[in-house]
């Protein structure tokens, strides 16, 4: 025979309501509790009470990492030198306040204007991105080709195939700059993974992730201004956040000799490119594109006049072109005053 399944009866409470009330009265009768509180002295109340801001109290933003801000200042100086060298005229470049922003907000805001995104990958760290306003990329490419550095198509919303190829050269040069900037703290190798013009395809972080955003305002002319922004997800910076934080103490910390030595060695190895400038000539884009082998460029300089040796945008020496051991060379004549 099989035993039929029976529905279990509802479980009755262990204590009836009146039993629970009696138990609570036995533990702490309400009259005794009131009497006990009445014997306590008054607690002094503060005269001024400010609203508690949870965001401020739990702030873990860029201001907690002074070394990070210092590195971005170095980045600002290096970028300015590069832009001045490319455009061959004074360019205003100012670093603005570093912000901690939600990645979803960055993507939503950048959709409002055409952007070009240079996405970099670093082993063991992840990805970060450098975002340029599109007109700045077009102007930069124009200056690279010897133009005046202007965005000729103000209504452009993407890059042409040729501009995309040239933009890759711009991105590769940024690789070296990022490598050098971070070497004193943590040696990394930045690799340009891709270039995007659509923010939703970046794949940089999840929507709720926080990022340190570093904006640089660039002023080329009255009609051409914009931003270059570096976005570092906190997950990217996590392995080195301790190195970027300084101790919150009023005492002066002794110099870390090992760190100082590492910094000096890193700075000693920063590469510089020296160039010998024989002369200059000015061409428009049409003239530049029509150049062919065998054409002559007038440099407006006598052949026996000394040339100038430049490092970045600074002329350092008068130099006489010549040769040594079968190689082109330059004899340094005298330094050029920087006053």
Domain range enclosing 293:
274-335
Residue 151 pLDDT > 70: no
> Does residue 4 belong to any structural domain of this protein?
no
Do 94 and 222 reside in the same domain of the chain? yes
Is residue 30, in this structure, part of any structural domain at all? no
* Residues 162, 172: Cα–Cα separation, whole Å: 16
- Give the pLDDT band of residue 57 (cuts 50, 70, 90): very low
Whether the Cβ atoms of residue 106 and residue 211 lie closer than 8 Å to each other: yes
Residue 21 is assigned to a structural domain of this protein = no
Residue 249: pLDDT above 70?
no
Mean pLDDT of all residues in 41-48 = 71
pLDDT at 236 over 70: yes
pLDDT at 264 over 50: yes
- Report the pLDDT value the prediction gives residue 152, as an integer from 0 to 100: 59
The answer to whether 301 and 279 are in contact (CB under 8 A) is yes
Same domain, yes or no: 281 and 202: no
Percent of the chain with pLDDT over 70: 80
Co-location of 186 and 318 in the same domain = no
- For 115-142, write each residue's pLDDT tens digit: 899 999 998 899 999 999 999 999 999 8
Where is pLDDT greater, at 122 or 56? 122
- Which tokens go with 24? 């609570």
The answer to whether residue 40 sits within a structural domain is no
Q: In the chain, pLDDT over 90 holds for what percent of residues? A: 16
Residue 8: pLDDT band with limits 50, 70, 90: very low
CA distance 40 to 127: 59
pLDDT at 233: 93
Residues 162 and 308 in one domain: no
Ordered DSSP codes for 269-335: T----EEEE-------HHHHHT--TT--------TTS-EEEEETTEEEEEEEEEEETTEEEEEEEEE
Q: Answer yes or no: are the C-beta atoms of 130 and 230 closer than 8 Å.
A: yes
pLDDT at 58: 47
> Do residue 300 and residue 200 come from a single domain?
no
Q: Is residue 172 part of a domain?
A: yes
Confidence of residue 36 (pLDDT cuts 50, 70, 90): low
CA 149 – CA 170 distance, rounded (Å):
14
Q: Is 201 a domain residue?
A: yes
The pLDDT score that the predictor gives to residue 158 is 81
Q: Does residue 115 sit in the same domain as residue 209? A: yes
Number of other residues whose CB lies within 10 A of the CB of residue 112: 8
Same structural domain, 229 and 172: yes
Look at the chain and report how many structural domains it folds into: 2
Instruction: Say what the pLDDT of residue 195 is.
Output: 92
184 and 66, same domain (yes or no): yes
Q: Given this model, what pLDDT does residue 11 score?
A: 57
Same domain, yes or no: 153 and 207: yes
- Residue 76 in domain: yes
Please tell me whether residues 151 and 286 are part of one structural domain: no
pLDDT tens per residue, range 270-329:
777 888 887 788 888 888 888 888 888 887 777 778 888 888 778 888 888 888 888 888
pLDDT, tens digit, for every residue of 213-233?
A: 999 999 988 888 899 999 999
């Amino acid at each position: 025979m099989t035993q039929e399944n029976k529905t279990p009866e509802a479980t009755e409470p262990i204590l009836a309501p009146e039993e629970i009330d009696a138990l609570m009265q036995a533990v702490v009768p309400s009259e005794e509790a009131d009497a006990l509180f009445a014997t306590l002295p008054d607690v002094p109340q503060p005269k001024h009470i400010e609203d508690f801001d949870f965001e401020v109290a739990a702030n873990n933003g860029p201001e907690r990492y002074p070394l990070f801000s210092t590195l971005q200042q170095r980045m600002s100086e290096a970028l300015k030198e590069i832009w001045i060298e490319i455009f061959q005229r004074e360019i205003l470049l100012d670093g603005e306040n570093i912000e901690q922003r939600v990645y979803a907000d960055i993507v939503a805001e950048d959709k409002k204007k055409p952007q070009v995104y240079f996405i970099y990958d670093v082993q063991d760290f992840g990805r970060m991105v450098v975002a340029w306003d599109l007109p700045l990329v077009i102007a930069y490419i124009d200056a690279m080709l010897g133009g005046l550095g202007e965005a000729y198509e103000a209504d452009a919303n993407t890059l042409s195939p040729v501009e995309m190829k040239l933009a890759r050269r711009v991105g590769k040069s940024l690789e070296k700059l990022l490598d050098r900037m971070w070497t004193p703290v943590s040696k990394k190798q930045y690799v340009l993974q891709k270039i995007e013009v659509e923010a939703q395809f970046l794949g940089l972080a999840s929507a709720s992730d926080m990022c340190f955003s570093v904006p640089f305002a660039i002023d080329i002319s009255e009609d051409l201004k914009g931003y270059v922004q570096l976005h570092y997800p906190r997950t990217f910076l996590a392995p080195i956040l301790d190195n970027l934080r300084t101790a919150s103490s009023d005492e002066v910390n002794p110099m870390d000799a090992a760190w100082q030595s590492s910094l000096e060695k890193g700075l000693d190895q920063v590469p510089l490119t020296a160039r010998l400038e024989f002369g200059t000539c000015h061409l428009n884009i049409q003239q530049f594109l029509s150049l062919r082998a065998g054409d002559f460029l007038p440099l407006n300089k006598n052949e026996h006049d000394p040339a100038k040796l430049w490092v970045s945008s600074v002329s350092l020496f008068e130099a006489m072109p010549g040769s040594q051991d079968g190689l082109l060379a330059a004899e340094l004549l005298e330094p050029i005053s920087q006053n």
